[in-house]
Amino acid sequence: MKHIVLGISGGIAAYKSAELLRLLMKQGHSVQVVMTEAACHFISPTTLQALSGRPVYLDQWDERTPNNMAHINLGREADAIVIAPASADFIAKLAHGMADDLLSTLCLARNCPLMIAPAMNREMWQNKATARNIAQLTSDGVEILGPGTGLQACGETGMGRMLEPSELAEHIISSSQPKLFLGKKFLITAGPTYEAIDPVRGITNQSSGKMGYAIARAARESGAEVVLVSGPVSLATPVNVRRINVKSAEEMRDAVMREVAACDIFISVAAVADYRVANRSFQKIKKGSSALTLELVANPDILAEVAALEHPPYCVGFAAESENLAEHAEQKRRAKRLPLLVGNIAQDAIGQDDNELVLFDEQGSYPLPRADKLTLARQLMQHIALRHIGARK
């Protein structure tokens, strides 16, 4: 759990800060809100106090702190300071080292990471003075989150809109994860494949892609460059992950083989169809009274092909079994000569937000108790780092 100081400066986007606060607390973080005087014109301190369960600080001379040094005390307690929204005025203060209120003084006296989420009119964002200030803050090591593009309160559309709370929360939480894979490249497959029968029908499966996407996010959080080859799913791409969309197993195989030479770690999470239709029709098959016969041929085994390369990456496979998990998973690991295989019971995991995994490698099996898929993905990163990175030191 981390302790975060959430700073709010004056801007209409301040209303989003309440949702950001809620999301951070939902992830188990404690949050202390510090507001500027201008911020109070857009959202009430009472609202933020009720949500955080902590008194909101506004005044650098606040007498609730015994030594009257709230700017020192609050900063020393924080693991990170996040300013959302960060107005053009407040950004200018930070860039020039000004300290004329509690929040700006707190930022100047900090000894922890500082992240800002700019929010302003598009002309203000494009102004050369703002560009200089952002460049200075970046040079000073401040992390800039956004802004995004969209409809603004003034009625105009363009760059300058504060990122949505869910995007900011993902950035903030990701930044606190250990950077186990800096300089490494992951190639990950996720989701189902779809094998066409005709232009409107096909063979697929119930994979939601959630586990693969969680692993892609966890790998990116760990500092790696991540390429995600995804079958057809309705999931948002994790931040700073390069996504390649495919449909069929053959398309997935081709995408993987184009990327695999540059990757250090390959994780095959996708539920790839074992068979495709040999006699696919390119016109819709009309419904008739007689039975329809489909000839099925085997699809490529992408994981086995990658593992058999002359210089393969570190390969991690997934085995979704309906029974006898340990027996079938270990057989699959040995047959494909994988250093690590992740097993789960399919009917307990498909489409769910949580899962229960067992890791199988040459040293034994390691159960990961049921948890949400992102938590499991982060635990998987730790195991891979221990086995892959640790073995090469």
Tell me, what's the pLDDT at 19?
A: 96
Tell me, what's the pLDDT at 125?
A: 95
Instruction: Name the pTM for this structure.
Output: 0.77
* β partners of residue 86: 118
Tell me, what's the pLDDT at 66?
A: 65
Considering only CA atoms, give the Rg of the chain.
Answer: 25
Report the amino acid identity of residue 363.
Q
Active site residues: 154
Class of domain 3-175: alpha beta
56-103 confidence digits (pLDDT tens): 999 877 667 666 566 666 767 888 999 999 999 999 999 999 999 999
Q: Parallel, antiparallel, or unpaired for β 148-151 and 143-144?
A: unpaired
Q: CA-CA distance, 159 to 150, in Å (whole number)? A: 7
Provide the mean pLDDT of the chain.
89
Torsion, CA 147, CA 152, CA 157, CA 163, rounded to 10: 20
139-181 confidence digits (pLDDT tens): 999 999 989 888 777 777 888 999 999 989 988 888 878 889 9
Domain boundaries, the chain: 3-175, 185-391
Residues (pLDDT < 70) of the chain are 1, 62-63, 65-73, 75, 289, 322-323, 345-351, 388-393
Tell me, what's the pLDDT at 346?
A: 60
What is the CATH number that goes with domain 185-391?
Answer: 3.40.50.10300
Tell me, what's the pLDDT at 49?
A: 95
Asked if the domains at 3-175 and 185-391 fall in one CATH topology, the answer is yes
